[in-house]
Amino acid sequence: MTQSYEERSAVKTRRQQEDQRRMAFRRAIEDRYEQRQLLAEISEFPDAAEFNYWQASPAASRRNAQPGQ
């Protein structure tokens, strides 16, 4: 028993959609895994989480300050 062109096309489309869903799910799992790894690495340095990057170099701000008159 042979399938008609429309039936084969519908099957192909359905398989492609299933593959896309599987790949999206897999990417989401991989992204979550990477986020958890990064969070674990960051949490090894608890002070770094509280560190304000903009206050990293007080010496640089002193160099840019205008001397008082």
Which pTM value belongs to this model? 0.49
The residues spanned by each domain of the chain are 2-51
Q: Phi/psi class of residue 62: alpha, beta or left (left: φ > 0; alpha: ψ in -120 to 50)?
A: alpha
Mean pLDDT of the 34-55 span: 72
- Token pair of 11, please? 């099957």
Mean pLDDT of the 1-13 span: 85
Which of 15, 59, 37, 53 lies closest to 7, judged by CA? 15
Alpha-carbon distance of 25 to 27, in angstroms, equals: 5
Secondary structure letter of residue 55 according to DSSP = G
Residue 1 scores a pLDDT above 80: no
Question: Which residues contact residue 49 at a Cβ distance below 8 angstroms, ignoring those fewer than 6 apart?
Answer: 42, 43
